[in-house]
Structure 1
Amino acid sequence: MTIKTDKLSDPAVRAFVTALNSHDRESFLDLLSPGATMADDGSDRNLDEWIDREIFSSNGHIDVDNESNSGRSLLAHYRNDTWGEMVTRWDFTVDTDGRISRFETGQA
Protein backbone atom coordinates (compact mmCIF):
# COMPACT_ATOMS: atom_id res chain seq x y z
CA MET A 1 0.00 0.00 0.00
CA THR A 2 1.43 3.34 -0.99
CA ILE A 3 1.53 6.52 1.06
CA LYS A 4 -0.17 9.45 -0.63
CA THR A 5 2.37 12.12 -1.44
CA ASP A 6 0.52 14.81 0.52
CA LYS A 7 0.78 12.58 3.63
CA LEU A 8 4.60 12.35 3.62
CA SER A 9 6.00 13.63 6.91
CA ASP A 10 8.95 15.77 5.86
CA PRO A 11 8.00 18.93 3.91
CA ALA A 12 11.16 18.94 1.77
CA VAL A 13 10.80 15.26 0.87
CA ARG A 14 7.09 15.75 0.15
CA ALA A 15 7.95 18.64 -2.21
CA PHE A 16 10.71 16.54 -3.85
CA VAL A 17 8.30 13.67 -4.59
CA THR A 18 5.62 16.10 -5.81
CA ALA A 19 8.02 17.88 -8.19
CA LEU A 20 9.47 14.58 -9.45
CA ASN A 21 6.05 13.05 -10.15
CA SER A 22 4.74 16.19 -11.87
CA HIS A 23 7.96 16.47 -13.93
CA ASP A 24 8.40 20.03 -12.67
CA ARG A 25 12.13 20.50 -13.16
CA GLU A 26 12.15 24.12 -11.97
CA SER A 27 10.42 23.31 -8.66
CA PHE A 28 12.63 20.24 -8.25
CA LEU A 29 15.82 22.28 -8.64
CA ASP A 30 14.51 24.98 -6.29
CA LEU A 31 14.31 22.33 -3.54
CA LEU A 32 18.03 21.61 -3.73
CA SER A 33 20.69 23.53 -1.84
CA PRO A 34 23.47 25.14 -3.88
CA GLY A 35 26.08 22.46 -4.43
CA ALA A 36 23.68 19.61 -3.62
CA THR A 37 25.02 16.11 -4.22
CA MET A 38 23.56 12.68 -4.79
CA ALA A 39 24.51 9.02 -5.03
CA ASP A 40 22.96 6.08 -6.89
CA ASP A 41 23.65 2.54 -5.68
CA GLY A 42 26.45 3.83 -3.44
CA SER A 43 28.34 5.82 -6.09
CA ASP A 44 28.31 9.61 -6.27
CA ARG A 45 26.87 10.84 -9.56
CA ASN A 46 26.73 14.12 -11.43
CA LEU A 47 23.46 15.54 -10.12
CA ASP A 48 22.38 17.42 -13.28
CA GLU A 49 23.15 14.52 -15.60
CA TRP A 50 21.48 11.99 -13.32
CA ILE A 51 18.21 13.88 -12.86
CA ASP A 52 17.99 14.53 -16.62
CA ARG A 53 18.60 10.87 -17.47
CA GLU A 54 16.77 9.13 -14.62
CA ILE A 55 13.88 11.53 -13.99
CA PHE A 56 13.05 14.20 -16.52
CA SER A 57 13.92 12.68 -19.91
CA SER A 58 12.62 9.23 -18.91
CA ASN A 59 9.32 10.10 -17.19
CA GLY A 60 10.44 9.13 -13.68
CA HIS A 61 7.74 8.43 -11.10
CA ILE A 62 7.91 7.41 -7.45
CA ASP A 63 5.25 5.68 -5.32
CA VAL A 64 6.23 5.65 -1.65
CA ASP A 65 5.55 2.43 0.26
CA ASN A 66 7.11 3.32 3.61
CA GLU A 67 8.91 6.17 5.35
CA SER A 68 11.23 6.29 8.34
CA ASN A 69 13.79 8.64 9.93
CA SER A 70 11.13 11.35 10.40
CA GLY A 71 10.17 11.05 6.73
CA ARG A 72 13.70 11.45 5.39
CA SER A 73 14.12 7.80 4.38
CA LEU A 74 11.75 6.21 1.89
CA LEU A 75 11.13 2.74 0.53
CA ALA A 76 9.40 3.16 -2.81
CA HIS A 77 8.54 1.77 -6.20
CA TYR A 78 10.35 3.87 -8.78
CA ARG A 79 9.78 3.63 -12.49
CA ASN A 80 11.00 5.31 -15.62
CA ASP A 81 11.02 4.62 -19.33
CA THR A 82 14.64 3.42 -19.26
CA TRP A 83 14.67 0.83 -16.46
CA GLY A 84 11.00 0.01 -15.88
CA GLU A 85 9.91 -0.40 -12.24
CA MET A 86 12.02 -1.37 -9.26
CA VAL A 87 11.88 -1.20 -5.48
CA THR A 88 14.21 1.57 -4.32
CA ARG A 89 15.37 3.29 -1.17
CA TRP A 90 15.81 7.06 -0.87
CA ASP A 91 17.63 8.89 1.91
CA PHE A 92 17.61 12.68 2.21
CA THR A 93 19.75 15.22 4.03
CA VAL A 94 17.74 18.38 4.61
CA ASP A 95 19.47 21.61 5.66
CA THR A 96 18.15 23.94 8.35
CA ASP A 97 16.68 26.16 5.59
CA GLY A 98 14.50 23.23 4.47
CA ARG A 99 16.38 22.53 1.24
CA ILE A 100 17.84 19.17 0.28
CA SER A 101 21.64 19.13 0.29
CA ARG A 102 22.02 15.44 -0.58
CA PHE A 103 19.97 12.46 -1.57
CA GLU A 104 20.98 8.87 -2.01
CA THR A 105 18.99 6.27 -3.89
CA GLY A 106 19.41 2.73 -5.08
CA GLN A 107 17.75 -0.61 -5.39
CA ALA A 108 16.33 -1.87 -2.12
Structure 2
Amino acid sequence: MSLLKIVMLVALTSCGYGHDHSNIKNMDTSLLTHPIVKDAIDALQAGKADAWFALFTADAELYDDGNKMDLKKFFGAAIGHERFTSIDKVENKGLDVYGRFHSDKWGDFKTYMKFHVNAEGKIYKLEIGQADY
Protein backbone atom coordinates (compact mmCIF):
# COMPACT_ATOMS: atom_id res chain seq x y z
CA MET A 1 0.00 0.00 0.00
CA SER A 2 1.34 3.42 -0.87
CA LEU A 3 2.17 5.97 1.80
CA LEU A 4 -0.60 8.25 0.51
CA LYS A 5 -3.19 5.48 0.90
CA ILE A 6 -2.00 4.75 4.43
CA VAL A 7 -2.18 8.43 5.39
CA MET A 8 -5.68 8.73 3.90
CA LEU A 9 -6.86 5.58 5.68
CA VAL A 10 -5.58 6.85 9.02
CA ALA A 11 -7.10 10.30 8.43
CA LEU A 12 -10.50 8.85 7.60
CA THR A 13 -10.63 6.44 10.54
CA SER A 14 -9.11 8.48 13.35
CA CYS A 15 -9.85 11.80 15.00
CA GLY A 16 -6.25 12.15 16.04
CA TYR A 17 -6.66 11.04 19.64
CA GLY A 18 -5.66 7.39 19.11
CA HIS A 19 -8.95 5.69 19.86
CA ASP A 20 -11.90 4.03 18.14
CA HIS A 21 -15.29 5.71 17.63
CA SER A 22 -17.13 2.69 16.23
CA ASN A 23 -19.29 2.50 19.37
CA ILE A 24 -20.69 6.03 19.04
CA LYS A 25 -23.40 5.28 16.47
CA ASN A 26 -24.48 2.16 18.37
CA MET A 27 -24.16 3.66 21.83
CA ASP A 28 -26.59 2.24 24.38
CA THR A 29 -29.15 4.91 25.26
CA SER A 30 -31.46 2.57 27.22
CA LEU A 31 -30.72 4.48 30.44
CA LEU A 32 -32.35 7.60 28.96
CA THR A 33 -35.89 7.48 30.33
CA HIS A 34 -37.05 11.07 29.87
CA PRO A 35 -38.41 11.46 26.32
CA ILE A 36 -37.20 15.05 25.82
CA VAL A 37 -33.72 14.21 27.11
CA LYS A 38 -33.59 11.12 24.87
CA ASP A 39 -34.60 13.23 21.86
CA ALA A 40 -31.89 15.78 22.74
CA ILE A 41 -29.15 13.18 23.14
CA ASP A 42 -30.27 11.42 19.93
CA ALA A 43 -30.06 14.75 18.06
CA LEU A 44 -26.64 15.51 19.52
CA GLN A 45 -25.33 12.04 18.66
CA ALA A 46 -26.64 12.29 15.08
CA GLY A 47 -25.29 15.82 14.60
CA LYS A 48 -28.78 17.16 13.85
CA ALA A 49 -28.73 20.81 14.90
CA ASP A 50 -32.30 21.55 13.77
CA ALA A 51 -33.69 18.68 15.87
CA TRP A 52 -31.54 19.74 18.85
CA PHE A 53 -32.54 23.42 18.82
CA ALA A 54 -36.24 22.58 18.25
CA LEU A 55 -36.31 21.08 21.77
CA PHE A 56 -35.36 24.38 23.45
CA THR A 57 -37.31 27.52 24.32
CA ALA A 58 -36.36 30.64 22.38
CA ASP A 59 -34.69 32.11 25.48
CA ALA A 60 -33.12 28.90 26.83
CA GLU A 61 -30.05 29.34 29.02
CA LEU A 62 -26.81 27.36 28.91
CA TYR A 63 -24.33 27.08 31.77
CA ASP A 64 -20.94 25.45 31.19
CA ASP A 65 -19.28 24.60 34.51
CA GLY A 66 -21.44 27.35 36.04
CA ASN A 67 -20.58 30.01 33.45
CA LYS A 68 -23.44 31.41 31.39
CA MET A 69 -22.86 30.80 27.69
CA ASP A 70 -24.72 31.52 24.44
CA LEU A 71 -26.61 28.28 23.73
CA LYS A 72 -26.96 28.81 19.97
CA LYS A 73 -23.36 29.83 19.46
CA PHE A 74 -21.97 27.07 21.70
CA PHE A 75 -23.98 24.20 20.26
CA GLY A 76 -23.95 25.63 16.75
CA ALA A 77 -20.21 24.95 16.81
CA ALA A 78 -20.38 21.73 18.88
CA ILE A 79 -23.06 19.71 17.08
CA GLY A 80 -21.42 17.29 14.71
CA HIS A 81 -18.12 17.58 16.60
CA GLU A 82 -19.11 16.55 20.13
CA ARG A 83 -20.92 13.46 21.35
CA PHE A 84 -21.30 10.97 24.16
CA THR A 85 -19.31 7.77 23.83
CA SER A 86 -21.17 6.18 26.74
CA ILE A 87 -24.03 6.98 29.07
CA ASP A 88 -22.87 5.88 32.51
CA LYS A 89 -25.69 7.02 34.79
CA VAL A 90 -28.93 8.99 34.73
CA GLU A 91 -30.46 10.73 37.74
CA ASN A 92 -33.18 13.22 38.72
CA LYS A 93 -36.07 11.47 36.96
CA GLY A 94 -34.03 11.15 33.76
CA LEU A 95 -33.07 14.82 33.51
CA ASP A 96 -29.40 14.52 34.58
CA VAL A 97 -27.12 12.52 32.28
CA TYR A 98 -23.54 11.53 33.08
CA GLY A 99 -21.17 9.82 30.69
CA ARG A 100 -18.00 9.71 28.73
CA PHE A 101 -17.84 12.38 26.07
CA HIS A 102 -15.76 13.11 22.98
CA SER A 103 -14.99 16.54 21.59
CA ASP A 104 -12.99 16.85 18.39
CA LYS A 105 -11.46 19.99 19.92
CA TRP A 106 -11.01 19.04 23.60
CA GLY A 107 -10.58 15.25 23.48
CA ASP A 108 -12.27 12.76 25.79
CA PHE A 109 -13.57 13.32 29.31
CA LYS A 110 -16.44 12.58 31.68
CA THR A 111 -19.28 15.06 31.50
CA TYR A 112 -22.75 15.84 32.77
CA MET A 113 -25.77 17.41 31.14
CA LYS A 114 -28.59 18.57 33.39
CA PHE A 115 -31.77 19.38 31.50
CA HIS A 116 -34.53 21.62 32.87
CA VAL A 117 -37.83 21.08 31.05
CA ASN A 118 -40.92 23.28 31.35
CA ALA A 119 -44.57 22.17 31.44
CA GLU A 120 -44.79 22.56 27.65
CA GLY A 121 -42.02 20.00 27.15
CA LYS A 122 -39.32 22.48 26.10
CA ILE A 123 -35.83 22.73 27.56
CA TYR A 124 -35.43 26.15 29.18
CA LYS A 125 -32.07 25.57 30.86
CA LEU A 126 -29.15 23.23 30.26
CA GLU A 127 -26.22 22.83 32.60
CA ILE A 128 -23.12 21.06 31.27
CA GLY A 129 -19.65 20.47 32.58
CA GLN A 130 -16.91 18.05 33.40
CA ALA A 131 -17.97 15.37 35.83
CA ASP A 132 -16.08 13.55 38.55
CA TYR A 133 -17.79 10.29 39.42
Question: Is the TM-score greater than 0.5?
Answer: yes
**Residue 54 of structure 1: CA displacement?**
2.9
**Residue 27 of structure 1: CA displacement?**
0.5
By relative contact order (CA 8 Å, sep 6+), the higher-ranking structure is 1
The count of residues paired between Structure 1 and Structure 2 equals 104
* Cα distance in 2 for residues equivalent to 1:49 and 1:81: 17
* Cα distance in 1 for residues equivalent to 2:31 and 2:113: 17
Does structure 2 retain, via aligned residues, the 8 Å contact 1:6–1:14?
no
Matched, 1:67 2:90: yes
SS of 1:38's partner is strand
Q: Which residue of 1 aligns with 2:119?
A: 96
Return 5+ residue gaps in structure 1 as ranges. Answer: none
1:16 maps to a residue whose letter is: A
* Cα distance in 2 for residues equivalent to 1:77 and 1:50: 19
Does structure 1 retain, via aligned residues, the 8 Å contact 2:31–2:89?
no
* Cα distance in 2 for residues equivalent to 1:39 and 1:64: 20
**Residue 7 of structure 1: CA displacement?**
4.4
* Cα distance in 1 for residues equivalent to 2:88 and 2:31: 12
SS of 1:96's partner is coil
Q: Which residue of 2 aligns with 1:54?
A: 78
The 4+ residue runs of structure 1 with deviation greater than 3 A are none
RMSD, aligned α-carbons: 1.4
1:8 maps to a residue whose letter is: L
Structure showing greater radius of gyration is 2
Does structure 2 retain, via aligned residues, the 8 Å contact 1:89–1:106?
yes
2:46 maps to a residue whose letter is: S
